Structure 1
């Protein structure tokens, strides 16, 4: 059963993993925005998750949940993408400005068929970003709105006070100074819920919308709607036709235990080991996708000016039984923590091209950082992975050569260990080690090339069962614990990774 412990075994020392961290040949900077978040008008992601309104009995700061704000600030959230997602291509920004009581409501046709009262709009989003100290990523409506609507929204957000009629309107609505839009999404999933378009047509539209969206407050990076999974033809067309007019290409990929049927993805809890294994194998496909999409981009953009923005990634399971299936509510377990660590290690290896990403999603939806229930909030195992990887934000990637034993389960055969390493902004080296084998502890020996280290300390995330998770009644079942099982001597780091674990080691 998924919730039970698996018998502990240890791989023989001679069959363990070996790696070399090459501090003597440092790689590119890992941009902070790779650790970005996604907040869509979906289920309880916004309402009840981030925003409860000023009159709520839940402790809030002008309507924003204080517990959520504190938790997000604690992991240094660098960027949040909003308002979607599929919601973005049916969103009309004027519905979300002005007095809240006067804002028109609508039905959220993408997610659950519930009423959207537009109580959380442009001003509320930027208020959240200011409280988090995060950069902004606004997704514009290409699917159901003309280019003028996007251009006017950018004018409203970024034009200097009194410079335009829309800037004056913004001031009347309570914000005199312009905001800064760091990223503007030119539509979302134009191949799907954003319009069911052909790649060439979508690229032409991207050129058109990008041309007329002009920031009045500094540079604004324009992110095109890119491919899903292995749709390399989309990347080829978008780069060939629109590559010179965009700053980023968005890639979406969701990890599912059971691929092939979106209505039968597999449960979030109580899963068999086979679905642990397939989840890990499918997660590791991110390496293939980044490599092949980057190669296509290199043909058109050898200087790597255009970023590959993985602005939707994470696990997607069957909804929590009894919940509205359109709310995409799911529990978050140790399995998700390992998935998050694997993806971050992959992003670090592609830091030259992957300079922004957003996990889906921040609160209460899919692979969430946080879950809320009325006044209660719980931090998920995925949240704690982001906490462990904070030193990766803005750090220099260090190349790693790895030889790993294999994890086998039924038809799945994948490397059992994943590694990444960085030198942080203060000069300290950190090594991330992930053991995705749920049964066996694995000895690891890491050679340290180009650096000296005399001490090592660390933290670990693991659990007794594959689906160990934090609940409102037991919020600390899966949390980081001190890890004292590593040694450094003679230019080498040695340890034994417990089964199904994420370990971060700090070298001094």
Structure 2
């Protein structure tokens, strides 16, 4: 009887302790840098991302702009500290011929964008526009080259046109088109989704194609190196990564891509704002799968590259829903709610915690498409909950990742369960420690206790992003319905943090 009581007492104590969320931060064990390029973005010629989003034309007298690029967008992206911007696709990249988008605009040929809505692309926004815009924003360009319908020579010419400072046919052409000095272009994607819209290739075939392109794709400046990124796997296609890492010499390869979207069902994606809790739960299940995907693809890469010289580049990620009612189905315009804030917070935490291998990523997409950080409507512009999460989290850029363990309670729905709490941490160059916490539970607040080890702190401040309903979103009529606020729900006592996180909330702590 006595032994039974001891067992029951132990079980009671165990459930009391572990019924809450127990986190442990090891502030003295940081090793890997959280590369700022994890916070990259993606701008495809799709819907209203470029035209009406970034670019309104040089002759627009209603919207303030610089060479046709919206000033309000530039200011917002500067504040977000975006480190790189991927262009021109996406699927569009493998039908895009860059020479169609340079020179006098009246002489540029038009094409039909067969991938996205069948609209006519007039090529008024081209290489000069994009690279000049990157300079305005203060971000690095990431150019995705045409492998599906282009040629090796076309790709070589683009690199020479954009980066060569000497005399050559392509640098002369650039100067004729108004740009004397070359741009800095380090990041180059060799095709996009070669397994699908980029050519429906087999992994073995694409590996050979990549080797061919990479052989001729080199920097045109002696002091510069380019970063070549292979078209990577679709979600859990582990064979694709295996073949690329096995068959491509690593001296020809700086990064391998991965694409994964948080989609309920590709045939029935569900609405962006009127979703049910079941649809929310399924979306989060897909978003949290990113951890498994990154882990398994990284394990394959480790087998061939134990020194981790080749980066895993998640250059398309985010939520994907049905388009807003009454909009062009091919334009992929969707609203952005607190659900998207949860996707962003959880995904960025995953990337931080895999900083040894994930060194670049691109949210899809920047403006008016999929999980956008900005929405525009003529002269109006608003930022979304996803924007706010990425701004709150950008304190982690180029900081040292600190190991954090999470013993989380479950978010339960229909007898399925997900880990309720997601977390990551880092120490910046000034010694401040930042901790990102996400509670994905749609109904319950979560009590958290965080044990701080390896350092002493005397002060904690916090910001929170939350809202009364998980379907809440910013609109052009109410652009600040959701925005960050100060948070007093976390207290510091000795080496322990305690507090309660509201349902579907994102919190960022700063410890000094």
| TM-score in terms of structure 2 length | 0.95
- 1:331, 1:382 → 2: CA distance? 11
1:14 CA drift (Å) = 6.3
Cα 1:345–1:123 shift into 2, 3 Å: same
Pairwise mapping of residues 187-202 of structure 1 onto structure 2 (< 5 A)?
A: 187-202=191-206
| Contact 2:218–2:225 under 8 Å retained in 1 | no
Structure 2 equivalent of residue 82 of structure 1: 87
| Contact 1:263–1:318 under 8 Å retained in 2 | no
Unaligned runs of 5+ residues in structure 1 are 1-10
Do residues 30 (structure 1) and 30 (structure 2) align? no
Structure 2 equivalent of residue 325 of structure 1: 329
Structure 2 equivalent of residue 481 of structure 1: 485
- 1:243, 1:339 → 2: CA distance? 35
Structure 1 equivalent of residue 119 of structure 2: 114
Structure 2 equivalent of residue 3 of structure 1: none
- 2:178, 2:25 → 1: CA distance? 52
1:263 CA drift (Å) = 2.9
Pairwise mapping of residues 105-504 of structure 1 onto structure 2 (< 5 A)?
A: 105-161=110-166, 163-217=167-221, 218-244=224-250, 245-256=252-263, 258-259=264-265, 262-504=266-508
Kindly tell me the number of residue pairs found equivalent between the two proteins: 494
- 1:455, 1:48 → 2: CA distance? 45
1:412 CA drift (Å) = 2.6
- 2:491, 2:460 → 1: CA distance? 6
1:12 CA drift (Å) = 8.2
- 1:176, 1:61 → 2: CA distance? 19
| Contact 1:30–1:396 under 8 Å retained in 2 | yes
Q: Which runs of 4+ in 1 moved over 3 A?
A: 11-14
Unaligned runs of 5+ residues in structure 2 are 1-14
1:106 CA drift (Å) = 0.8
1:27 CA drift (Å) = 2.9
Cα 1:141–1:479 shift into 2, 3 Å: same
SS of 2:52 mapped into structure 1: coil
SS of 1:271 mapped into structure 2: coil
| Contact 2:91–2:197 under 8 Å retained in 1 | yes
| TM-score in terms of structure 1 length | 0.96
- 1:242, 1:129 → 2: CA distance? 31
2:78 aligned to which of 73, 78, 96: 73
In the TM superposition, what whole-angstrom CA distance separates every residue of 1:289-331 from its partner, at most 9, and x where no partner exists? 0000001111111111100000000000011111110101000
1:425 CA drift (Å) = 2.0
SS of 1:211 mapped into structure 2: helix
In the TM superposition, what whole-angstrom CA distance separates every residue of 1:378-400 from its partner, at most 9, and x where no partner exists? 10000000110011111110001
- 1:219, 1:411 → 2: CA distance? 52
| Contact 1:378–1:470 under 8 Å retained in 2 | yes
1:24 CA drift (Å) = 1.5
SS of 1:203 mapped into structure 2: helix
1:165 CA drift (Å) = 1.2
| Contact 2:340–2:386 under 8 Å retained in 1 | yes
- 2:405, 2:390 → 1: CA distance? 24
- 1:472, 1:411 → 2: CA distance? 39
Q: Which has the larger radius of gyration?
A: 2
- 1:269, 1:335 → 2: CA distance? 9
1:243 CA drift (Å) = 4.4
Cα 1:206–1:14 shift into 2, 3 Å: closer
- 1:29, 1:14 → 2: CA distance? 31
- 1:371, 1:28 → 2: CA distance? 34
1:167 CA drift (Å) = 0.3
- 1:430, 1:296 → 2: CA distance? 31
SS of 1:440 mapped into structure 2: coil
In the TM superposition, what whole-angstrom CA distance separates every residue of 1:213-247 from its partner, at most 9, and x where no partner exists? 12213111000001011000000111111142110
Q: Which range moved further: 387-396 or 213-222?
A: 213-222
| Contact 1:286–1:346 under 8 Å retained in 2 | yes
| Contact 2:18–2:407 under 8 Å retained in 1 | no
| Contact 1:108–1:115 under 8 Å retained in 2 | yes
- 1:308, 1:114 → 2: CA distance? 34
- 1:243, 1:263 → 2: CA distance? 38
1:135 CA drift (Å) = 1.0
| Contact 1:12–1:443 under 8 Å retained in 2 | no
